[in-house]
Structure 1
Amino acid sequence: MAHTTDGRLDPALRRLIGVILLGGIMGILDSSMIAAAADTLARDLDTSLATVSWVSTSYLLALTVSIPVTTWAVDRFGGRRLWLAGLVVFLAGSIGSGLAWDAPSLIVFRVVQGLGAGLLDPLMLTLLARASGPERAGRVMGLMGVVGSSGPVLGPVVGGIILQGLSWRWMFLVNIPIGIVALVLALRTVPKDAPAPGTTAARLDVTGIALIGPGVAAGVLALSQAAERAAFAAWQVLVPLAAAVLLLGGYAVHALGGRTTAPLIDLRLFTRRSFSASVTVGALVGLATFAALFALPLYYQQARDHGSFASALLLAPLGVGSALSMPLTGRLSDRLGSRPLALGGSVVAGLSAFAFTRAGAQTPEALTALAAFALGLGLGAVGAPTIASLYRTLPSALVPQGSSVLYMLNQLGASVGIATVALVVQTAGDGDAVRGFRAAAWTVTIALVVTLAAATQLPGRPGPRQQPEESGPPAAEESAPPAGTGSRAGEDPAPSTTGEGAAAGAARGEER
């Protein structure tokens, strides 16, 4: 897509961004909206809270399992077809969830929803990165980050508003009109991207899917169980954790060893400093964000005696701060590079989290709201430039793989954050809500100090870049692109997409 000569995004790209974000917001809201309805679901479906927790867990597990397949499918079927399929699957799951007759049926339909969201969420990154190009990555990723960061905050608020006067079923049925509009607009706006004539997509890495999807899902399940039980030494945590280690270890052996099919995700991407730094910071931002989202409502409810809806409203400043800083810092990163902005954001967020370590039961709510706003500003200033740095330095052929890795690690980071805070609040607090919250705030502060260290490895000011060019298929099997890369061009002519060759197309503009 073209850009206007004064640097602004052209109308076609702006329309595409709007359509993609409209479709993506449904899954992001649904992942957190259900938190406001736990008690209502347990009562109306005549079941326990432990069973209701699987309404969220099943969604998250299905989403995680389907993410790696997107890496291969985006070039096998095209991003447009896959986006439309994701919308249809998500809509089908939403309709089924809204009409569910008991807890097991709701869990099953939430699995369908999660499968659709697992297609949509990484595709948001892939489609927007490809359409914007490396020189506009920061600006576009900043806009996308507004949806990603505000969704978890707005989800409980929207859920609370719906439950004020409507049945819990409308938390799912509300997706129907939104999804239909998103589907119609996508048919008109998302460009076709069928493979070029004469090219073939890589064969599906079935072994990789059998290892990495269940492996990541088992890790998420272990962390979810740790959060639910506020303990790591329970068999419900240790069994899936051991399964995750075995499956992911098996994938590493499979991906790096001899094989006839290119791996689903080429682990040699991690030999590139900028990629490793970007996904590490992305995981840490997910950890810090969701740890704060979990801890702050507990503080307002347990230490300040607020209801769930009021607590959700008091959480809003965090989302507002992030929504304000992401577009600005994303745009600035196109000129200044990612490193200085991420470093500054880490400092602001870390100081804000440290301020929460001093909060008490009598601390004015204006001060806690201000600290939450500053925390959101800092996290947004880290998130958007970090996402942009990944796509700015990856050849376009590797964008689907980068999207999958980034999203999976962000989800794992979020699960780690929730599990850790749940454990810290229960063990360190020992019945004292304020002491537990302060311990959770220290957890977030430490995570942001680690983020600050990792951010030093992000790319600095962008250097001169060549525009992507089409390249022919590799001449030899060992240089064939990994699954999910197809035959799309890199950012330099005829890049190799394996090992160190994958970095060559972007290395000249990566560090400055």
Structure 2
Amino acid sequence: MVLGAIMAILDVTVVSVALPTFQREFHASYATVAWTMTAYTLALATVIPVTGWAADRFGTKRLYLTSIALFVAGSALCSVAWDIGPLIAFRTVQGLGGGMLMPLGMTIMTRAAGPQRIGRVMAVLGVPMLLGPIGGPILGGWLIQAASWHWIFLINVPIGAVAFITSLRVLPKDQPHVSESFDFLGMLLLSPGLALLLYGVSSIPGAGTVADAKVLVPALVGLALVIGFVLHARRKAHALIDLRLFGNRNLSVAVITLTLFSVAFMGAMLLFPSYFLQVRGEDTLNAGLLLAPQGIGAMLTMPASGRLTDRMGPGKLVLGGIVLIAAGMAVFTQITADSSYVLLLGALFVMGMGMGMTMMPIMSGALASLGDQQIARGSTMMNIVQQTAGSIGTAVMSVVLTNQVQGNPAATVYSAVMQGTVPASQVSGAVLSQGRSSLASAFGNTYIVALILIVLCIVPSLFLPRRKLERAEQPQDEVAVPVVMH
């Protein structure tokens, strides 16, 4: 499961480092090459909603093996792309496979662990979720410098082959359940709805404002389709996403907490490497390495958090983790152009410790109390929430930072110099120095927004369970009826 998760998550951040390389290789604009990221995200949003139904209908092992094969095939095709158009198309194939890997992995591990051990196994699955944003820039920068951009995709082939063979031998034989008829109307509403909503949200940084037609039209159409799905699902007995799951108090509270947390923390994660790249002038490899303390902090707390979640529920752990993240984020609100690296890396370490105590315990709290037949749908729902909220958080932080920079002429000039659009020789040293300080202040002001959102997470976290979780009784209509043959 971890091998599959590593491929899916690393591929998002590895490609982000290669965007300037794609611009040079394919003689394309940044807006065009950015579609290599957007196409992958939209494919994820399209396929995730149907994963729960497909897992019940065809079996988790078969579907997991299929998703690995699809992802590896997409990776191999990306490595031989001859132009930006085919690369974007092949990234879509990758996303269709990658979108199923995480919810399927969570479903398989949750069912295998049982409610008494779910915290521990979710902590293991949480490692690639955390290290992806940290290790991706490091790996991507190194591969591009040491070999070529093709290897950021080719590296998935051997990893995928090992994951496929191991899964084939290790995972138990499929026992698919007699599934209800497929909710075609639900799919036609939810999948394109999520894709359009995320497309509109992801267009905000490029447009610079929410009021742009490129943002509003797809986002509003997508939102209308999602609302249409909610109205449809409330009337249908076996909808694509079972909204009856929100009748489980633990899951409802966890969804609210995860939404706020993903908007705040995932958005802030975007800013950390950007500060080191744009203000401190580090290259992509060094910027990635400077984020390593965050991963180290998480690896220290995540295993213990998993065991403690099994014993005492997620409530106290998540609250403590949010406090640690807020303490580390407070340091970044005071950031300057010459802030001590020791102080910044220490703050990242503290935030990493908080991260290890937060995200996976929240998911564990949601899934541990679900019945066995509800787990596939529950994990699908949690992945939709995380993907959507993370995209919103990234867009919000990008817009806040962009507006902060555009409101300061010196910061705008310095940012243009760092991006290579304005030659440094045409700008005086005094303007560069002032612009560097102003850009650092813009980052600090943006971190204030992230800190406020993190603090708001405390409110729903107070309602998370603070005792050992027990799996809920399954609804009567979902309990298998034994049949005696004469």
Output the TM-score relative to the length of structure 1.
Answer: 0.85
Q: Is the 8 A contact 1:94 1:175 kept in 2?
A: yes
Which has the larger displacement, 365-374 or 439-448?
439-448
Contact conserved, 2:317 with 2:361, CA < 8 A, in 1?
A: yes
For 1:152-177, what per-residue CA distance to the aligned partner results, in whole angstroms no more than 9, with x for missing partners? 11111100010112110111011111
* Residue in 2 that maps onto 1:181: 162
- Please list the CA deviations of residues 204-233 of structure 1 after superposition, one character each: whole Å capped at 9, or x if unmatched: 100001111111111111111113333211
Gaps (5+ residues) in structure 2?
412-437
Aligned residue number for residue 192 of structure 2: 214
After TM superposition, list the pairs within 5 Å mapping 1:199-238 onto structure 2.
200-238=178-216
Partner of 2:391: 415
Counterpart Cα distance in 2 of 1:230 and 1:324:
39
> Are 1:131 and 2:137 an aligned pair?
no
On the 8 A contact 1:162/1:171 being kept in 2, the answer is yes
CA distance in 2, matches of 1:330, 1:466: 17
Kindly tell me: are residues 24 and 57 of structure 1, through their superposed partners in 2, closer, same or farther at Cα, counting changes over 3 Å? same
Where in structure 2 are the equivalents of 1:418-429 lying within 5 Å?
418-429=394-405
Deviation of 1:466 after TM superposition, in Å, equals 7.0
Equivalent of residue 53 in structure 2, options 72, 84, 93: 72
- The 5 Å alignment of 1:148-187 reads 148-187=129-168
Other-structure match for 1:439: 445
Q: CA deviation at 1:333?
A: 0.9
The unaligned stretches of length 5 or more in structure 1 are 1-19, 482-486, 494-512
Decide whether aligned partners of structure 1 residues 488 and 141 sit closer, same or farther in structure 2, where only a CA change above 3 A counts: farther
| Structure 1 SS opposite 2:88 | helix
Aligned partner of 1:297: which letter? P
* Aligned-partner SS, 2:463: coil
Percent sequence identity is 37
Alignment-derived partner of residue 270 in structure 2: 294
1:343 counterpart = 2:319: yes
CA drift of 1:283 comes to 2.3
Count of residue correspondences: 452
Q: CA deviation at 1:305?
A: 2.1
| 1:306-455 correspondence to structure 2 within 5 Å | 306-429=282-405, 430=407, 431=411, 432-455=438-461
Q: Classify the secondary structure of the residue corresponding to 1:304.
A: coil
Residues 230 and 419 in structure 1, CA contact (< 8 A), matched pair in contact too: no
Residue of structure 1 aligned with 2:462, choices 456, 460, 470: 456
Match of 1:249 among 207, 227, 230: 227
Give distance in 1, aligned partners of 2:460 and 2:299.
Answer: 23
1:138 and 1:331 in contact (8 A); partners too: yes
Q: Which residue number in structure 2 is paired with residue 504 of structure 1?
A: none
Separation in 2, partners of 1:193, 1:86: 15
**Cα contact 2:200–2:215 (8 A) shared by 1:** yes
Query: Partner amino acid for 1:451?
Result: C
In structure 1, distance between residues paired with 2:225 and 2:142: 41
Structure 2 SS opposite 1:200: coil
Question: Hey, what's the Cα distance between the residues in 2 that align with 1:306 and 1:283?
Answer: 32
Please, what is the CA RMSD of the aligned residues? 1.8
Aligned letter for 1:72? W
Match of 1:17 in 2: none
CA distance in 2, matches of 1:419, 1:228: 9
Tell me the CA shift for residue 185 of structure 1.
0.7
| Offset, 1:302 | 2.4
Q: 1:163 to 1:56 in 2, by over 3 A?
A: same
Among 73, 90, 97, which residue is 1:109 paired with? 90
Secondary structure (helix, strand or coil) at the match of 1:191 reads coil
**Residue 141 (1) aligns with residue 122 (2):** yes
Quote the Cα distance in structure 2 between the aligned partners of 1:144 and 1:280.
21
The residue correspondences of 1:39-50 to structure 2 (distance < 5 A) are: 39-50=20-31
2:242 matches 1:266: yes
Structure-2 separation of matches of 1:127 and 1:289: 27
> In 1, Cα distance between the equivalents of 2:83 and 2:362?
42
In structure 2, C-alpha distance between the alignment counterparts of 1:57 and 1:461, rounded to whole Å: 41
TM-score (norm 2): 0.90
